[in-house]
C-alpha cells in the first residue's frame, strides 16, 4: 500500500519551522479581510463596484479600490491578492481578473480597460497601467505639478491618454515588469524580469524580454 504523503503543515514544521509564523499570519490576514468585507456588505457600505469571486482571497481591504460611480473591479473565483498589491480603477475604468489569478506585489492602475486572464501569475514589483498619468508637454506638466502642490488651479482641458490592456490566460510576469497602455499579450506568455512592455500585440506562447520588450523565444 502506498503511504499518504505528509500534509503541508507537517512539512513546514519539519523542513522550515520558522515559516510557520508566516503561514499563520497569512491565514489570519485572509480571514480578517473576509470578515471585514462580509460585515461591510451586511451594513451596505461595501461598494457594489467591486466583485470578489467565489473562494477568492484578499489580504487587505485596501488592495481593491474603484472610484465611484463608474469604475469597476472584478476578481475571479479562487483568485489570490496579497497584502502589498494595489488594484485601482478610476473614472470609467474596468479591471477584470480571471479565476485562479495570483497577484503579489503588483500595482494595477486603470482608466480604460484592463483584462487579465485565468491562472495569471505576477512576481514582485510589477506595474500594469493603461494610461499616462502626466502630460508629456512640460508646460502642462508644470501646471499639473503646481496644482498637486497647492500652488495653482487644477489642470483643465487635458485628459489622461489611455488604451486598453489585454493579458491572456496562463501568463507569468517576472519581477520588476512594467506593462503600459495598449499592450495585448497572448495566452501562455512569460515576461522576463525587468522587462518594459510597450503598446503592441505579442503572440501566444512567447517569452518577452528587454526594454522595450521583444519576443526572444517561442515556447
Residue 141 sits in a domain of what CATH number? 2.160.10.10
Give the list of residues 6+ apart from residue 200 with CB closer than 8 angstroms, or none: 182, 183, 184
104 and 201 housed in the same domain: yes
> 178 and 150 share a domain?
yes
Give residues with Cβ within 8 angstroms of 43, minimum separation 6.
none
Band of residue 24 on the pLDDT scale cut at 50, 70, 90? confident
pLDDT digits (tens, 9 = 90+) for 184-216: 999 999 999 999 999 999 999 999 999 999 999
**Residue 99 corresponds to which cell in the numbers above?**
479565476
Distances (CA, A) of 147 to 141, 142, 143, 154, 209: 10, 9, 6, 5, 38
Its sign, for the CA torsion 41, 89, 51, 32, is: negative
In a domain, 176, yes or no: yes
84 is catalytic: no
Q: Given this model, what pLDDT does residue 11 score?
A: 75
Q: What is the mean pLDDT of residues 2-23?
A: 71
Within-domain flag for 55:
yes
Give the pLDDT of residue 151: 93
The alpha-carbon radius of gyration of the chain (Å, integer) is: 20
- Higher pLDDT: 3 or 153? It is 153
Higher-scoring residue by pLDDT: 109, 6: 109
User: Is 140 a member of any domain?
Assistant: yes
Which one is catalytic: 32, 48, 70, 134?
A: 134
* pLDDT score, position 6: 66
Spacing of C-alpha 132 from chain mean position:
17
Q: Tell me: the pLDDT tens digits for 73-124?
A: 999 999 999 999 999 999 999 999 999 999 999 999 999 999 999 999 999 9
pLDDT score, position 16: 74
Domain containing 24 equals 8-46
Which pLDDT does position 60 carry in this prediction?
95
Which residues have a Cβ under 8 Å from the Cβ of 26 and sit 6 or more positions away?
59
Confidence of residue 20 (pLDDT cuts 50, 70, 90): confident
| 105 and 13 fall within a common domain | no
Q: Does residue 1 form part of some domain?
A: no
Strand order in the sheet with 200-202: 50-52, 72-75, 94-97, 113-116, 165-167, 183-185, 200-202
Section 60-64 average pLDDT: 96
Q: Are residues 42 and 64 in the same domain?
A: no
Residues 117 and 198 in one domain: yes
Task: Give pTM, 2 decimals.
Answer: 0.91
Structural domains counted in the chain: 2
Contact criterion met (CB below 8 Å) for 74 and 97: yes
Q: Is residue 3 part of a domain?
A: no
Amino acid at each position: 500500500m502506498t503511504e499518504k504523503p505528509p500534509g503541508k503543515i507537517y512539512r513546514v514544521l519539519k523542513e522550515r519551522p520558522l515559516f510557520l509564523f508566516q503561514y499563520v499570519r497569512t491565514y489570519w490576514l485572509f480571514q480578517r479581510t473576509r470578515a471585514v468585507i462580509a460585515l461591510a456588505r451586511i451594513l451596505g457600505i461595501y461598494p457594489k463596484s467591486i466583485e470578489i469571486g467565489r473562494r477568492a482571497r484578499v489580504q487587505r481591504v485596501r488592495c481593491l479600490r474603484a472610484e465611484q460611480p463608474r469604475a469597476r473591479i472584478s476578481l475571479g473565483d479562487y483568485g489570490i491578492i496579497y497584502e502589498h498589491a494595489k488594484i485601482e480603477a478610476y473614472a470609467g475604468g474596468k479591471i477584470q481578473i480571471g479565476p485562479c489569478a495570483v497577484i503579489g506585489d503588483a500595482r494595477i492602475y486603470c482608466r480604460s480597460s484592463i483584462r487579465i486572464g485565468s491562472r495569471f501569475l505576477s512576481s514582485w514589483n510589477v506595474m500594469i497601467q493603461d494610461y499616462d498619468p502626466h502630460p508629456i508637454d512640460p508646460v502642462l506638466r508644470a501646471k499639473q505639478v503646481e496644482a498637486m502642490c497647492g500652488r495653482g488651479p487644477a489642470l483643465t482641458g487635458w485628459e489622461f491618454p489611455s488604451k486598453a490592456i489585454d493579458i491572456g490566460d496562463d501568463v507569468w510576469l517576472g519581477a520588476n515588469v512594467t506593462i503600459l497602455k495598449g499592450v495585448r499579450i497572448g495566452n501562455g506568455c512569460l515576461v522576463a524580469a525587468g522587462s518594459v512592455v510597450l503598446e503592441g500585440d505579442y503572440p501566444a506562447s512567447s517569452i518577452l524580454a528587454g526594454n522595450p520588450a521583444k519576443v526572444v523565444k517561442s515556447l
